[in-house]
């Protein structure tokens, strides 16, 4: 297909995991009715963003992710019934003591295409993800779905051009970024605009540099920190960028929304031909990219 309708789910989450899951399933159905072919959730959509604190009890939220798990079976049935591709961000328990921030991809016929495990794990105030998540080990890959060849990266991955490049080089024409990012209320007045602008700009630059579409899917709403501290005001503003870095659609800063956008994959060939960044890469000169720092 040259033209594909992409659906992004921007929503608030409650403390009730089942409620969040059912709410997301309803939004998937609504987007499918509106014509969406590929639908992506926000990061860790089944719960509030628990990484604001380091608390052993939150490991109980994790689940095994395979074709026999209840969540995957439900997503498979939903995808098959609606004939849509689903990208869902989940908290994965791999084995005792090893947990991942993981996104799964279900094809439009209900088949389980696999998963991506978040590679870059942050450790910042209210974003204490290194306590919970082991860095991914599945690499950067493209999932060949019924409607498009897509790549999935997760939140903190969005700041790294290397991740976007390697995913695009593996064949992805659309990059999806399930995300949970927002302002700390005490910082918003001074740094809020700069923080948001940096977030949007870096992802639009991935679209330009790789001649592909970028979909950023963020949550909304204020979530108080479990330890009583200031919490996070998630800034929403989920968006779709075309290969020129132009915004095709953008969500609100504070409202739940089902966002749908048509993208034309046929332009990618001409964009990559006109701006031949892949052709002109000096792969013979990049050896030092694997070093931590060049002294």
pLDDT tens per residue, range 155-213 = 999 999 999 999 999 999 999 999 999 999 999 999 999 999 999 999 999 999 999 99
Determine, yes or no, domain membership for 254: yes
Segments forming the whole domain that contains residue 266: 3-285
> And the tokens for 31?
């987007």
Instruction: Please enumerate in sequence order all residues whose Cβ is within 8 A of that of 47, keeping only pairs 6 or more positions apart, or say none.
Output: 13, 15, 17, 20, 61, 91
Count structural domains, the chain: 1
* Residue 146 located in a structural domain: yes
Q: What pLDDT is recorded for position 19?
A: 98
Q: Where are the beta strands (DSSP E) in the chain?
A: 3-10, 38-40, 85-95, 98-106, 112-117, 123-124, 127-128, 142-144, 149-152, 174-179, 182-183, 213-218, 220-223, 232-235, 239-241, 247-250, 257-264
Provide the pLDDT confidence category of residue 236 given band limits of 50, 70 and 90.
Answer: very high
Q: In what order do the strands lie in the sheet with 38-40?
A: 112-117, 98-106, 85-95, 38-40, 3-10, 257-264
Whole-angstrom Cα distance, residue 211 to residue 295?
A: 32
CA-to-CA distance for 253 and 239, rounded, in angstroms? 11
How, if at all, do strands 149-152 and 213-218 pair? unpaired
Yes or no: say if 119 and 80 are a contact pair by the CB < 8 Å rule. Answer: no
Active site residues: 43, 118, 155
Share of the chain above pLDDT 90, in %: 99
Distance CA 260, CA 2 (A): 16
**Residue 123: per-residue pLDDT:** 97
292 lies in some domain: no
Confirm whether 291 is domain-assigned.
no
- Between CA 114 and CA 75 the distance in angstroms is 13
The per-residue pLDDT for range 18-46, each reduced to its tens digit, is 999 999 999 999 999 999 999 999 999 99
Measured CA to CA, the distance from residue 26 to residue 55 in angstroms comes to 31
β-sheet bridge partners, residue 250 = 239
**Mean of per-residue pLDDT scores for the chain:** 97
The DSSP symbol for 49 reads -
Strand pairing partners for 117?
A: 102
Q: What mean pLDDT is predicted for residues 262-286?
A: 97
Distances (CA, A) of 128 to 15, 28, 55, 61, 133: 19, 29, 10, 16, 9
**What pLDDT is stored for residue 49 in this prediction?**
98
Region 37-59: what's the mean pLDDT?
98
CATH number of the domain bearing residue 196: 3.60.110.10
User: Is residue 290 included in any domain, yes or no?
Assistant: no
Question: Please, what's the b/e burial string for 98-136 (b: 16 or more CB within 10 A of its CB; e: otherwise)?
Answer: ebbbbbbbbbbebebeebbbbbbbeeeebbbbeebbbeb
pLDDT at 260 over 90: yes
- Quick one: pLDDT band at residue 1, thresholds 50, 70, 90? confident
Helix (H, G, I), strand (E, B) or coil at 50: helix
Classify residue 84: in a domain, yes or no. Answer: yes
Reported as a pLDDT band with limits 50, 70 and 90, residue 47 is: very high
**75 three-state secondary structure:** helix
């Amino acid at each position: 297909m040259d033209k594909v309708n992409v659906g992004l789910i921007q929503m608030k989450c409650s403390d009730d995991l089942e409620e969040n899951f059912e709410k997301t399933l309803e939004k998937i159905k609504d987007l499918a009715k509106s014509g969406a072919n590929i639908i992506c959730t926000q990061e860790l959509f089944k719960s509030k963003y628990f990484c604001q604190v380091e608390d052993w009890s939150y490991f109980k939220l994790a689940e095994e992710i395979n074709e026999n798990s209840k969540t995957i079976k439900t997503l498979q049935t939903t995808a098959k019934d609606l004939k849509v591709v689903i990208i869902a961000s989940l908290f994965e328990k791999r084995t005792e003591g090893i947990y991942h921030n993981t996104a799964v991809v279900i094809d439009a016929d209900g088949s389980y295409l696999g998963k991506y495990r978040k590679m870059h794990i942050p450790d910042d105030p209210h974003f204490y993800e290194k306590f919970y998540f082991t860095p991914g080990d599945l690499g950067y890959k493209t999932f060949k779905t019924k409607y498009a060849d897509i790549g999935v990266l997760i939140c903190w991955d969005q700041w790294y051009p290397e991740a976007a490049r390697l995913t695009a080089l593996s064949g992805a024409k659309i990059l999806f970024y399930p995300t949970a990012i927002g302002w700390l209320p005490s910082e918003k007045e001074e740094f809020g605009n700069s923080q948001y602008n940096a977030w949007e700009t870096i992802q639009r630059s991935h679209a330009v540099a790789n001649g592909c579409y970028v979909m950023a899917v963020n949550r909304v709403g204020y979530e108080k920190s479990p330890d009583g501290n200031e919490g996070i005001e998630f800034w929403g503003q989920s968006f779709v960028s075309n290969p020129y870095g132009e915004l095709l659609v953008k969500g609100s800063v504070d409202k739940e929304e089902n966002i749908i956008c048509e993208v034309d994959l046929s332009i990618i060939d001409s964009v990559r031909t006109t701006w031949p960044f892949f052709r002109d890469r000096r792969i013979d000169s990049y050896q030092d990219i694997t070093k931590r720092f060049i002294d």
